[in-house]
Structure 1
Amino acid sequence: MGKKLLVIIPAYNEEENIEKTVTAILNHKGQFDYIVINDCSTDRTGEICRERGYHHINLPINLGIGGAVQMGYQYALRNGYERAVQVDGDGQHDPEFLQSMMEYMTKYDADMVIGSRFIEKQGFQSSRARRIGIGIFTGLIRLVTGAKITDPTSGLRMVNRKVLTIFANNYPKDYPEPESVVMILNNGFQVREIPVVMKEREGGVSSISLKKSVYYMIKVPLAILIECIRRG
């Protein structure tokens, strides 16, 4: 029988957040396994992981969020985990919700469970500009798949063995969350959401700058449409 759950923590220049992120997981009653994917950080992220004895992989080049998360899925697949969940290294995701996500996945036989901050609208709700973008992605995903995903950019997402196997072999590279949801829905898998509370980043800088946000808003819808055309 496979191992229960692997927490994948992608981290790029998270020296201000990585220790509290890993500590929160280690202190959680579920005692889940974890792996930090250090995406060739230029700060002390890798050094902190080494000094603290964290389970981690140092990537030799920067692959971006998609490549880092895919490396985590490949690690989960090779090491026999039944489920994997992404928890971002910036400290915004609370491990307290991991147990309820596992229970929900089991109860509803879901293939992917997304932690959504927009169901009960508690905690940090992101900036107004990003909420507008998220709303656009929600509408587009509903248009092309028929499914309503309230928080398609959420990085807090749990998948079962079937989906992690797919993601280990094929995962979008740039801003992968909306694209990967569409890919899974179009392959007939069941995606569910549960309400969670997210925190605001306390330190460090988000990798999504204004310039990257513009690129994001152009690239992701095009990628979603291309995925649907390819499937059609």
Structure 2
Amino acid sequence: MQKLLIVIPAHNEEASIVPVVRDLIDNYPQYDYVVVNDGSRDKTAALCRQNGFNLIDLPVNLGLAGAFQTGLRYAAEHGYDCAMQMDADGQHKPEYIAEMLAALEDGSDIVIGSRFLTVKKPKTLRMAGSYIISWSIRLTTGRAICDPTSGMRMFNRAMVQEFAENLNYGPEPDTISYLIKNGAKVREVQVKMGERTAGQSYLTFWRSVQYMVKMSVSILLIQWFRKRDTETPYPERSL
């Protein structure tokens, strides 16, 4: 089995962080984890220290992209073969880690925990943005990604290095689309996600609309002008 690091970005998740991490420690001890406290103003960091959790404590709020990249830099520097993004709110279920890891070991660069691979996506206003982003990715890459906004993603060593070494790599659908266009192999695994166990999502209706517009514009236009190292696109792929 490859050495996996579960990266848990956390911002003001004092009500959920302990049971989320405790579940991993008690029931999935074969996987390492690190909590990246993203400048929380509540007791998230204090609770992690109190419970002896593996913690990276950022002094300021960097946002999801900064916290996630911090975790992947930690993974790269500590020799992990792969890394997984897991939310701190309890929505991502660790019971699917083994299946996602198997898909990664089967030759994928990125594995997405998808809610809609074998389950039909509901035609609701809330899902409208997901439909549009999926359409944008398919139009620009030829690949159908059923659940592009899923934050439950796993990355092989090459992708860990890619995210760790590039400052403009956020864990968002536009980056996934960009990497597909540059040859990354992406696979989805059907999962079920729970409801947020505590707290409130920062994604209000209008923020969701803004996010959908931002991602679609980025995928359809901005990603065409993005630059990267094309001579050695995926270092250490053999690992």
TM-score, normalised to structure 2, is 0.88
The Cα offsets for residues 91-137 of structure 1, whole Å up to 9 and x where unpaired, read as 00011110111112112x00000000112339xx8993331111110
Shift in alpha-carbon separation, 1:192–1:28, aligned structure 2, 3 A: same
How far apart are the structure 2 equivalents of 1:94 and 1:154?
13
Return the offset for 1:209: 2.4
How far apart are the structure 2 equivalents of 1:29 and 1:8?
14
Alignment match, 1:102: 101
TM-score, normalised to structure 1, is 0.91
Is 31-40 or 178-187 further displaced after alignment?
Answer: 178-187
Out of 218, 224, 231, the residue aligned to residue 228 of structure 1 is 224
Alignment match, 1:115: 113
Shift in alpha-carbon separation, 1:26–1:68, aligned structure 2, 3 A: same
Tell me if 1:16 matches 2:12.
no
How far apart are the structure 2 equivalents of 1:144 and 1:110?
20
Alignment match, 1:77: 76
Tell me if 1:26 matches 2:22.
no
Percent pairwise identity: 43
Return the offset for 1:173: 6.7
How far apart are the structure 2 equivalents of 1:193 and 1:135?
16
Equivalent pair of 1:113/1:157 in contact (CA under 8 Å): yes
Return the offset for 1:27: 2.3
Alignment match, 2:236: none
Q: Matched residue of 2:7: which SS?
A: strand
Alignment match, 1:188: 183
Equivalent pair of 1:3/1:80 in contact (CA under 8 Å): no
- What does 1:79-94 align with in structure 2 at a 5 Å threshold? 79-94=78-93
- What does 1:51-70 align with in structure 2 at a 5 Å threshold? 51-70=50-69
How far apart are the structure 2 equivalents of 1:93 and 1:85?
11
Equivalent pair of 1:36/1:56 in contact (CA under 8 Å): yes
Out of 124, 140, 144, the residue aligned to residue 144 of structure 1 is 140
- What does 1:190-205 align with in structure 2 at a 5 Å threshold? 190-205=185-200
Return the offset for 1:202: 2.0
Equivalent pair of 2:20/2:90 in contact (CA under 8 Å): yes
Tell me if 1:165 matches 2:161.
yes
How far apart are the structure 2 equivalents of 1:67 and 1:151?
23
Return the offset for 1:187: 1.4
Q: What is the aligned residue count?
A: 226
The letter of the residue matching 2:75 is A
Return the offset for 1:29: 3.8
Q: Matched residue of 1:35: which SS?
A: strand
- What does 1:126-141 align with in structure 2 at a 5 Å threshold? 128-141=124-137
The letter of the residue matching 1:115 is G
Equivalent pair of 2:36/2:56 in contact (CA under 8 Å): yes
- What does 1:44-55 align with in structure 2 at a 5 Å threshold? 44-55=43-54
How far apart are the structure 1 equivalents of 2:37 and 2:150?
20
Q: Matched residue of 1:98: which SS?
A: helix
Alignment match, 2:233: none
Shift in alpha-carbon separation, 1:29–1:36, aligned structure 2, 3 A: closer
Shift in alpha-carbon separation, 1:30–1:49, aligned structure 2, 3 A: closer
